[in-house]
Structure 1
Amino acid sequence: MHSATTTRELDELRREMVQEQIRERGVRDARVLDAMLHVPRHEFVSEDMIAGAYADQPLPIGEGQTISQPFMVGAMTEALALEGAERVLEVGTGSGYQAAVLALLAREVHSMESVVALATAAQARLARLGYRNVQVHCGDGTLGWEQAAPYDAIVVTAAAPRIPPPLVEQLAEGGRL
Protein backbone atom coordinates (compact mmCIF):
# COMPACT_ATOMS: atom_id res chain seq x y z
CA MET A 1 0.00 0.00 0.00
CA HIS A 2 1.27 3.44 -0.92
CA SER A 3 0.91 6.24 1.56
CA ALA A 4 -1.14 8.48 -0.74
CA THR A 5 -3.42 5.87 -2.28
CA THR A 6 -4.39 2.25 -1.59
CA THR A 7 -3.64 -0.60 -3.97
CA ARG A 8 -7.36 -1.03 -4.61
CA GLU A 9 -7.72 2.66 -5.50
CA LEU A 10 -4.70 2.49 -7.81
CA ASP A 11 -6.13 -0.60 -9.54
CA GLU A 12 -9.43 1.22 -10.09
CA LEU A 13 -7.63 4.31 -11.41
CA ARG A 14 -5.70 2.09 -13.83
CA ARG A 15 -8.94 0.47 -15.09
CA GLU A 16 -10.46 3.93 -15.58
CA MET A 17 -7.32 5.10 -17.41
CA VAL A 18 -7.51 2.22 -19.87
CA GLN A 19 -11.25 2.61 -20.46
CA GLU A 20 -11.62 6.40 -20.53
CA GLN A 21 -8.27 7.67 -21.80
CA ILE A 22 -7.11 4.90 -24.08
CA ARG A 23 -9.97 2.74 -25.34
CA GLU A 24 -12.53 5.53 -25.70
CA ARG A 25 -10.00 7.63 -27.62
CA GLY A 26 -9.50 4.98 -30.27
CA VAL A 27 -6.99 2.34 -29.18
CA ARG A 28 -8.76 -0.94 -30.02
CA ASP A 29 -6.09 -3.66 -29.89
CA ALA A 30 -7.26 -5.90 -27.04
CA ARG A 31 -3.70 -7.04 -26.29
CA VAL A 32 -2.50 -3.45 -25.89
CA LEU A 33 -5.44 -2.58 -23.64
CA ASP A 34 -4.82 -5.70 -21.54
CA ALA A 35 -1.09 -4.95 -21.23
CA MET A 36 -1.81 -1.42 -20.08
CA LEU A 37 -4.33 -2.77 -17.59
CA HIS A 38 -1.62 -5.00 -16.11
CA VAL A 39 1.34 -2.58 -15.98
CA PRO A 40 1.23 -0.54 -12.75
CA ARG A 41 2.07 2.96 -14.04
CA HIS A 42 2.34 4.22 -10.46
CA GLU A 43 5.47 2.06 -10.05
CA PHE A 44 7.16 4.12 -12.77
CA VAL A 45 6.77 7.54 -11.13
CA SER A 46 8.20 9.03 -7.95
CA GLU A 47 6.34 8.70 -4.65
CA ASP A 48 5.12 12.30 -4.82
CA MET A 49 3.59 11.67 -8.28
CA ILE A 50 1.68 8.47 -7.43
CA ALA A 51 -1.66 10.22 -6.86
CA GLY A 52 -1.52 11.51 -10.45
CA ALA A 53 0.01 8.41 -12.03
CA TYR A 54 -3.13 7.54 -14.00
CA ALA A 55 -3.98 11.06 -15.16
CA ASP A 56 -3.97 11.63 -18.92
CA GLN A 57 -0.78 13.65 -18.91
CA PRO A 58 2.98 13.22 -18.95
CA LEU A 59 4.64 13.42 -15.53
CA PRO A 60 8.18 14.44 -14.55
CA ILE A 61 10.54 11.56 -13.79
CA GLY A 62 13.71 13.56 -13.13
CA GLU A 63 16.67 14.58 -15.26
CA GLY A 64 14.38 16.94 -17.17
CA GLN A 65 12.43 14.00 -18.63
CA THR A 66 8.82 12.82 -18.41
CA ILE A 67 6.84 9.60 -18.51
CA SER A 68 4.63 9.77 -21.60
CA GLN A 69 0.91 10.45 -21.48
CA PRO A 70 -0.92 7.08 -21.23
CA PHE A 71 -2.86 7.61 -24.46
CA MET A 72 0.38 8.20 -26.37
CA VAL A 73 1.83 4.96 -24.98
CA GLY A 74 -1.29 3.08 -26.08
CA ALA A 75 -1.42 4.66 -29.53
CA MET A 76 2.29 4.14 -30.25
CA THR A 77 2.15 0.57 -29.00
CA GLU A 78 -0.92 -0.25 -31.08
CA ALA A 79 0.79 1.18 -34.18
CA LEU A 80 3.51 -1.47 -33.82
CA ALA A 81 0.92 -4.24 -34.39
CA LEU A 82 2.80 -6.67 -32.15
CA GLU A 83 1.75 -10.33 -32.17
CA GLY A 84 4.04 -11.70 -29.45
CA ALA A 85 7.08 -13.12 -31.23
CA GLU A 86 8.83 -9.86 -32.08
CA ARG A 87 12.13 -8.31 -31.07
CA VAL A 88 11.48 -4.62 -30.36
CA LEU A 89 13.79 -1.64 -29.95
CA GLU A 90 12.57 1.30 -27.89
CA VAL A 91 14.47 4.57 -28.08
CA GLY A 92 13.97 6.63 -24.91
CA THR A 93 13.54 4.33 -21.91
CA GLY A 94 12.75 7.07 -19.41
CA SER A 95 11.22 5.38 -16.37
CA GLY A 96 10.70 2.08 -18.22
CA TYR A 97 6.89 2.22 -18.44
CA GLN A 98 6.64 1.86 -22.23
CA ALA A 99 9.22 -0.96 -22.10
CA ALA A 100 7.07 -2.77 -19.51
CA VAL A 101 4.01 -2.50 -21.75
CA LEU A 102 6.05 -3.76 -24.71
CA ALA A 103 7.41 -6.63 -22.60
CA LEU A 104 3.91 -8.06 -22.28
CA LEU A 105 3.39 -7.91 -26.04
CA ALA A 106 6.73 -8.94 -27.58
CA ARG A 107 9.26 -11.73 -27.15
CA GLU A 108 12.21 -9.41 -26.49
CA VAL A 109 12.60 -5.69 -25.81
CA HIS A 110 15.80 -3.66 -26.02
CA SER A 111 15.47 -0.11 -24.73
CA MET A 112 17.97 2.71 -25.21
CA GLU A 113 18.36 5.56 -22.73
CA SER A 114 21.00 8.30 -22.96
CA VAL A 115 20.71 9.45 -19.32
CA VAL A 116 22.71 7.08 -17.10
CA ALA A 117 20.62 7.69 -13.95
CA LEU A 118 17.37 6.96 -15.80
CA ALA A 119 18.76 3.85 -17.51
CA THR A 120 20.06 2.45 -14.22
CA ALA A 121 16.81 3.16 -12.36
CA ALA A 122 14.65 1.77 -15.18
CA GLN A 123 16.65 -1.47 -15.41
CA ALA A 124 16.40 -1.99 -11.64
CA ARG A 125 12.67 -1.17 -11.62
CA LEU A 126 11.88 -3.49 -14.52
CA ALA A 127 13.84 -6.32 -12.88
CA ARG A 128 12.12 -5.74 -9.52
CA LEU A 129 8.71 -5.88 -11.21
CA GLY A 130 9.58 -9.10 -13.05
CA TYR A 131 9.97 -7.92 -16.65
CA ARG A 132 12.64 -10.45 -17.63
CA ASN A 133 12.49 -9.95 -21.40
CA VAL A 134 13.62 -6.29 -21.30
CA GLN A 135 17.21 -5.12 -21.52
CA VAL A 136 18.01 -1.46 -20.94
CA HIS A 137 21.11 -0.10 -22.65
CA CYS A 138 22.67 3.27 -21.89
CA GLY A 139 23.77 5.18 -24.95
CA ASP A 140 22.77 7.32 -27.89
CA GLY A 141 19.40 6.00 -29.02
CA THR A 142 19.80 7.52 -32.48
CA LEU A 143 22.42 4.81 -33.07
CA GLY A 144 20.03 2.05 -32.04
CA TRP A 145 21.42 -1.15 -30.50
CA GLU A 146 23.12 -2.99 -33.34
CA GLN A 147 24.07 -5.98 -31.16
CA ALA A 148 20.46 -7.26 -31.15
CA ALA A 149 19.40 -6.10 -34.64
CA PRO A 150 17.40 -6.67 -36.73
CA TYR A 151 14.23 -5.56 -34.96
CA ASP A 152 10.70 -6.39 -36.00
CA ALA A 153 9.53 -3.08 -34.58
CA ILE A 154 11.16 0.14 -33.38
CA VAL A 155 9.41 2.79 -31.31
CA VAL A 156 10.98 6.19 -30.69
CA THR A 157 9.52 7.60 -27.49
CA ALA A 158 12.02 10.44 -27.27
CA ALA A 159 11.74 13.56 -29.39
CA ALA A 160 13.54 13.26 -32.71
CA PRO A 161 13.53 15.81 -35.55
CA ARG A 162 13.99 13.01 -38.13
CA ILE A 163 14.35 9.25 -38.31
CA PRO A 164 18.02 8.41 -37.69
CA PRO A 165 19.49 6.23 -40.50
CA PRO A 166 20.93 3.62 -38.08
CA LEU A 167 17.39 2.84 -36.88
CA VAL A 168 16.20 2.20 -40.43
CA GLU A 169 19.25 -0.02 -41.02
CA GLN A 170 18.44 -2.06 -37.89
CA LEU A 171 14.82 -2.64 -38.87
CA ALA A 172 14.04 -6.15 -40.15
CA GLU A 173 12.53 -6.47 -43.61
CA GLY A 174 8.81 -5.86 -43.18
CA GLY A 175 9.44 -4.32 -39.74
CA ARG A 176 7.54 -1.34 -38.35
CA LEU A 177 8.98 1.97 -37.16
Structure 2
Amino acid sequence: MAKAYDHLFKLLLIGDSGVGKTCLIIRFAEDNFNNTYISTIGIDFKIRTVDIDGKKIKLQVWDTAGQERFKTITTAYYRGAMNASAGVERLLLGNKCDMEAKRKVQKEQANKLAQEHGIRFFETSAKSSMNVDEAFSSLARDILLKSGSRRSGNSNKPSSTDLKTCDKKNTNKCSLG
Protein backbone atom coordinates (compact mmCIF):
# COMPACT_ATOMS: atom_id res chain seq x y z
CA MET A 1 0.00 0.00 0.00
CA ALA A 2 1.33 3.47 -0.92
CA LYS A 3 2.00 6.01 1.79
CA ALA A 4 -0.57 8.79 2.07
CA TYR A 5 2.26 11.32 2.44
CA ASP A 6 6.03 11.60 2.34
CA HIS A 7 6.47 14.11 5.16
CA LEU A 8 4.43 15.50 8.04
CA PHE A 9 5.10 19.12 8.99
CA LYS A 10 3.45 20.61 12.04
CA LEU A 11 2.83 24.35 11.72
CA LEU A 12 1.90 26.55 14.66
CA LEU A 13 0.10 29.81 13.93
CA ILE A 14 0.48 32.33 16.74
CA GLY A 15 -0.52 35.95 17.17
CA ASP A 16 -2.77 38.41 18.91
CA SER A 17 -6.49 37.81 19.30
CA GLY A 18 -8.58 38.91 16.33
CA VAL A 19 -5.85 38.92 13.67
CA GLY A 20 -7.49 36.11 11.67
CA LYS A 21 -5.47 33.02 12.55
CA THR A 22 -8.49 30.71 12.47
CA CYS A 23 -9.78 32.23 9.24
CA LEU A 24 -6.37 31.74 7.59
CA ILE A 25 -6.27 28.10 8.62
CA ILE A 26 -9.82 27.42 7.48
CA ARG A 27 -9.15 29.18 4.15
CA PHE A 28 -6.03 27.09 3.65
CA ALA A 29 -7.40 23.73 4.81
CA GLU A 30 -11.00 23.96 3.58
CA ASP A 31 -10.95 26.86 1.08
CA ASN A 32 -13.78 28.46 3.01
CA PHE A 33 -14.36 31.82 4.71
CA ASN A 34 -16.92 32.83 7.29
CA ASN A 35 -17.42 36.45 8.40
CA THR A 36 -18.62 35.30 11.82
CA TYR A 37 -15.90 35.77 14.41
CA ILE A 38 -15.60 33.04 17.01
CA SER A 39 -12.64 33.13 19.41
CA THR A 40 -10.51 30.02 19.55
CA ILE A 41 -10.52 28.40 22.98
CA GLY A 42 -7.17 26.78 23.69
CA ILE A 43 -5.77 24.99 20.65
CA ASP A 44 -7.22 23.37 17.52
CA PHE A 45 -5.78 22.15 14.21
CA LYS A 46 -6.61 21.46 10.57
CA ILE A 47 -4.85 19.22 8.06
CA ARG A 48 -4.15 19.60 4.36
CA THR A 49 -1.85 17.59 2.12
CA VAL A 50 -0.02 19.54 -0.57
CA ASP A 51 2.35 18.58 -3.34
CA ILE A 52 5.74 20.28 -3.10
CA ASP A 53 8.37 19.38 -5.68
CA GLY A 54 6.79 15.97 -6.27
CA LYS A 55 6.53 15.12 -2.58
CA LYS A 56 3.27 14.74 -0.68
CA ILE A 57 3.51 16.97 2.37
CA LYS A 58 0.91 16.61 5.10
CA LEU A 59 0.58 19.96 6.84
CA GLN A 60 -0.90 19.86 10.31
CA VAL A 61 -1.69 23.52 11.03
CA TRP A 62 -2.25 24.31 14.71
CA ASP A 63 -4.43 27.24 15.70
CA THR A 64 -3.79 28.88 19.06
CA ALA A 65 -5.99 31.19 21.09
CA GLY A 66 -4.68 34.74 20.95
CA GLN A 67 -6.52 35.95 24.03
CA GLU A 68 -4.42 36.69 27.10
CA ARG A 69 -6.57 34.44 29.31
CA PHE A 70 -5.42 31.38 27.30
CA LYS A 71 -1.73 32.32 27.38
CA THR A 72 -0.90 29.73 30.06
CA ILE A 73 -2.43 26.92 27.99
CA THR A 74 -0.81 27.93 24.70
CA THR A 75 2.60 28.63 26.26
CA ALA A 76 2.58 25.24 27.97
CA TYR A 77 1.72 23.67 24.62
CA TYR A 78 4.65 25.40 22.84
CA ARG A 79 7.08 24.15 25.47
CA GLY A 80 5.61 20.68 25.76
CA ALA A 81 4.84 19.77 22.20
CA MET A 82 6.66 21.91 19.69
CA ASN A 83 10.30 22.11 18.61
CA ALA A 84 11.14 25.77 19.13
CA SER A 85 14.83 25.39 18.41
CA ALA A 86 16.91 28.15 16.86
CA GLY A 87 16.75 26.50 13.41
CA VAL A 88 12.96 26.40 13.21
CA GLU A 89 11.48 27.85 10.02
CA ARG A 90 9.41 30.98 10.60
CA LEU A 91 7.17 33.16 8.48
CA LEU A 92 5.60 36.54 9.16
CA LEU A 93 2.05 37.01 7.90
CA GLY A 94 0.17 40.28 7.74
CA ASN A 95 -3.44 39.20 7.45
CA LYS A 96 -6.55 41.18 6.45
CA CYS A 97 -4.72 43.07 3.70
CA ASP A 98 -8.11 43.46 2.01
CA MET A 99 -9.03 45.93 4.78
CA GLU A 100 -6.69 48.76 3.81
CA ALA A 101 -8.68 51.43 5.67
CA LYS A 102 -8.23 49.54 8.97
CA ARG A 103 -4.54 48.74 8.46
CA LYS A 104 -2.59 48.56 11.75
CA VAL A 105 0.89 47.84 10.35
CA GLN A 106 2.33 49.38 7.19
CA LYS A 107 3.74 46.93 4.66
CA GLU A 108 7.15 48.61 4.86
CA GLN A 109 7.26 48.11 8.66
CA ALA A 110 6.43 44.42 8.31
CA ASN A 111 9.00 43.94 5.55
CA LYS A 112 11.64 45.60 7.73
CA LEU A 113 10.75 43.39 10.71
CA ALA A 114 10.92 40.26 8.56
CA GLN A 115 14.31 41.30 7.15
CA GLU A 116 15.65 42.00 10.66
CA HIS A 117 14.70 38.46 11.70
CA GLY A 118 15.75 36.82 8.43
CA ILE A 119 12.27 35.51 7.63
CA ARG A 120 9.83 35.76 4.74
CA PHE A 121 6.85 38.09 4.84
CA PHE A 122 3.50 37.71 3.10
CA GLU A 123 0.48 39.96 3.19
CA THR A 124 -2.55 37.70 3.18
CA SER A 125 -6.31 37.86 3.12
CA ALA A 126 -8.29 34.91 4.38
CA LYS A 127 -11.40 36.58 2.98
CA SER A 128 -10.16 36.89 -0.62
CA SER A 129 -7.68 33.99 -0.35
CA MET A 130 -4.82 36.28 -1.41
CA ASN A 131 -1.41 34.69 -0.76
CA VAL A 132 -2.80 32.08 1.67
CA ASP A 133 -1.77 29.01 -0.34
CA GLU A 134 1.43 30.76 -1.43
CA ALA A 135 2.47 31.49 2.17
CA PHE A 136 1.86 27.95 3.45
CA SER A 137 3.43 26.38 0.34
CA SER A 138 6.48 28.62 0.65
CA LEU A 139 6.95 27.57 4.26
CA ALA A 140 6.46 23.89 3.41
CA ARG A 141 9.03 24.18 0.60
CA ASP A 142 11.56 25.81 2.94
CA ILE A 143 11.07 23.06 5.52
CA LEU A 144 11.34 20.35 2.88
CA LEU A 145 14.61 21.81 1.63
CA LYS A 146 15.99 22.09 5.15
CA SER A 147 14.87 18.59 6.15
CA GLY A 148 16.34 17.16 2.95
CA SER A 149 19.73 18.66 3.72
CA ARG A 150 19.72 17.23 7.27
CA ARG A 151 18.60 13.74 6.41
CA SER A 152 20.93 11.00 5.27
CA GLY A 153 19.34 8.10 3.50
CA ASN A 154 15.67 7.33 3.05
CA SER A 155 13.30 5.95 5.60
CA ASN A 156 10.03 4.16 5.03
CA LYS A 157 8.60 6.21 7.88
CA PRO A 158 7.28 9.69 7.02
CA SER A 159 9.35 12.44 8.58
CA SER A 160 7.90 14.96 10.99
CA THR A 161 9.19 18.48 11.53
CA ASP A 162 7.86 20.95 14.06
CA LEU A 163 7.81 24.65 13.34
CA LYS A 164 5.87 27.79 13.90
CA THR A 165 4.51 30.61 11.88
CA CYS A 166 3.76 34.07 13.08
CA ASP A 167 1.13 36.55 12.16
CA LYS A 168 0.87 40.19 13.08
CA LYS A 169 3.24 42.72 14.59
CA ASN A 170 4.43 41.56 17.99
CA THR A 171 8.01 40.28 17.72
CA ASN A 172 7.80 38.63 21.15
CA LYS A 173 5.07 36.39 19.79
CA CYS A 174 7.18 35.57 16.73
CA SER A 175 10.05 34.17 18.75
CA LEU A 176 9.71 31.18 21.00
CA GLY A 177 13.45 30.52 21.21
TM-score clears 0.5: no
Normalization by structure 1: what TM-score?
0.29
- Which structure's relative contact order is higher, taking Cα pairs within 8 Å and 6+ residues apart? 2
Normalization by structure 2: what TM-score?
0.29
